[in-house]
């Protein structure tokens, strides 16, 4: 399982610069993740996790493999995208496949960079794109309702689905996103969302693209966007696309010193990944052996068999037990052998809920 983030934004807001920085990061790290055949508008980058390197100091593996995040550069974001303006249809198709929307919003003044709407107004920019998401969902749902009306004549399940769909349509037509629909936990809505993948149901992270002078303290544009995010239960991060590009290729120490000089604790990329994991309820567990030390992405609350399935579905089907050491104990005792001697290695069964940072070895039978 990997995290997929779709980057959206109006023209000239810094979306392309942000994606370019990610693409460069991908190229620099391409040997460090598996299955790295990437389409031109996609970038796969490592999830920063210092714990992997601490584990590697003990295990001394042949290689270190991070969890990965896929970024998708969404094209054609203009007014009318939901009706096919610009590259609207491509935009809609790409974003449906992603888990989280990273909405890059221009929060800087620059007379040399024209704004497509002729003014700098972060909230208006956000509203333009969010309206397009709603309109696209309405269009998709209307088509589904037409089919359900025919099916409902002879199918009671379709009839129940139709009731839910019409209630959702009224909700969307009231300019309210699918994520605030009262019946999101019903089986009917879950089925509709699985099929149609409503754009306005997806988690959103606002990326406030500020200038270099505002990166440490923000500005009035950022404060307006931050207030909007709080009012809509969304997350906002502050980044400077130009500085993100400048940091690509820096060694860890150099990048840390550069961020310190700016008064920043994390790069924009690190913030995006951290918040993305949080919004989707994702955690990492580790496998550690002489061949590789590797991070695996699962959902918080997943059981040991489900976690095993992240490696291979056969592991989940034939799960017997999981030999588990917490990350803290693995580091404290200096590896598996000494942790086992100290009684810190636990044998967990099918009901065990995996904790973030668990170091695991699965026993299974196919």
Q: Mark which of 280, 309, 336 sits at the end of a domain.
A: 280
> pLDDT category, 118, cuts 50, 70, 90?
low
Q: Provide the residue range defining the domain that includes 107.
A: 3-49+66-118+202-280
What pLDDT is recorded for position 199? Answer: 93
Angle at 170 between CA 166 and CA 172, to 5 degrees: 115
Q: What is the pLDDT of residues 337-359, one digit of tens each?
A: 999 999 999 999 999 999 999 99
What pLDDT is recorded for position 80? Answer: 54
Least confident range of 7-21, 151-165, 247-261? 7-21
**Domain containing residue 339: CATH number:** 3.10.20.30
User: Are 196 and 208 part of one and the same domain?
Assistant: no
- Burial (CB < 10 A; 0-12, 13-18, 19+), residue 274, is middle
Beta strands in 186-242 (DSSP E): 203-209, 235-239
What pLDDT is recorded for position 87? Answer: 45
For residue 71, which phi and psi values (nearest 5 degrees)? -105, 135
Q: Is 286 among the domain residues?
A: no
Question: Would the pLDDT of 38 be above 50?
Answer: no
Is residue 205 within 8 A of residue 100, CB to CB? The reply is yes
User: Are 157 and 207 part of one and the same domain?
Assistant: no
> pLDDT category, 228, cuts 50, 70, 90?
very high
Q: Is 152 among the domain residues?
A: yes
User: Are 107 and 221 part of one and the same domain?
Assistant: yes
**Domain containing residue 180: CATH number:** 1.10.150.300
What pLDDT is recorded for position 186? Answer: 95
Is residue 164 within 8 A of residue 189, CB to CB? The reply is yes
Number of domains in the chain: 3
User: Are 211 and 191 part of one and the same domain?
Assistant: no
Residue 248 CB-half CA count within 13 A: 21
User: Are 156 and 29 part of one and the same domain?
Assistant: no
Is residue 50 within 8 A of residue 257, CB to CB? The reply is no
Bind-site residues: 12-17
What pLDDT is recorded for position 166? Answer: 97
Most confident stretch, 4-13, 207-216, 242-251: 207-216
What pLDDT is recorded for position 3? Answer: 82
Bind-site residues for ATP: 12-17
Which two three-digit tokens encode residue 327?
Answer: 């990350």
Q: Which helix (H) or strand (E) holds 278?
A: helix 268-280
CA-CA distance, 267 to 272, in Å (whole number)? 9
What pLDDT is recorded for position 115? Answer: 66
Which two three-digit tokens encode residue 243?
Answer: 């500085």
Q: Mark which of 214, 246, 280 sits at the end of a domain.
A: 280
Which among 309, 304, 302 has a CA at the least distance from the CA of 283? 302
Angle at 129 between CA 193 and CA 175, to 5 degrees: 60
The neighbour count for residue 310, using CB atoms within 10 Å, is 19
> pLDDT category, 18, cuts 50, 70, 90?
confident
Q: What is the pLDDT of residues 170-213, one digit of tens each?
A: 999 999 999 999 999 999 999 999 999 999 999 999 999 999 88
Question: Would the pLDDT of 34 be above 50?
Answer: no
Q: Mark which of 250, 280, 310 sits at the end of a domain.
A: 280
User: Are 114 and 21 part of one and the same domain?
Assistant: yes
């Amino acid at each position: 399982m990997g995290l997929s983030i779709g980057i959206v934004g109006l023209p000239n807001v810094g979306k392309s610069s942000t994606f370019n920085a990610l693409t460069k990061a991908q190229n620099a790290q391409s040997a460090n993740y598996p299955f790295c055949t990437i389409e031109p508008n996609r970038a796969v980058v490592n999830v920063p996790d210092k714990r992997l390197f601490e584990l590697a100091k003990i295990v001394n593996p042949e290689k270190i493999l991070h969890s990965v995040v896929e970024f998708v550069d969404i094209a054609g974001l203009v007014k009318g995208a939901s009706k096919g303006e610009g590259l609207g249809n491509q935009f809609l198709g790409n974003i449906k496949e992603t888990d989280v929307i990273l909405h890059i919003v221009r929060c800087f003044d620059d007379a040399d960079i024209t704004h497509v709407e002729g003014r700098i107004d972060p909230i208006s920019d956000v509203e333009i794109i969010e309206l397009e998401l709603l309109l696209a969902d309405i269009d998709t749902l209307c088509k589904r309702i037409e089919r359900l009306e025919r099916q409902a004549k002879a199918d009671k399940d379709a009839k129940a689905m139709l009731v839910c769909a019409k209630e959702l349509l009224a909700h969307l037509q009231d300019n309210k996103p699918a994520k605030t629909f009262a019946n999101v936990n019903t089986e009917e809505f879950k089925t509709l969302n699985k099929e149609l993948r409503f754009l306005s149901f997806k988690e959103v992270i606002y990326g406030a693209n500020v200038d270099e002078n505002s990166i440490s303290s923000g500005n009035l544009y950022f404060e307006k966007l931050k207030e909007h995010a709080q009012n809509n239960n969304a997350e906002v991060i502050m980044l400077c696309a130009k500085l993100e590009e400048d940091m690509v290729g820096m060694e860890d120490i150099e990048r840390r010193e550069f961020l310190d000089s700016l008064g920043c604790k994390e790069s924009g990329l690190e913030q995006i990944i951290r918040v993305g994991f949080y919004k989707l309820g994702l955690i990492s567990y580790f496998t550690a052996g002489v061949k590789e030390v590797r991070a695996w992405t699962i959902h918080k609350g997943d059981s040991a068999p489900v976690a095993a399935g992240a490696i291979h579905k056969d592991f989940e089907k034939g799960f017997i037990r999981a030999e588990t050491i917490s990350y803290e104990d693995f580091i404290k005792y200096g590896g598996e052998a000494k942790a086992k001697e100290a009684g810190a290695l636990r044998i967990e069964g099918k009901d065990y809920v995996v904790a973030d940072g668990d170091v695991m070895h699965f026993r299974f039978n196919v």
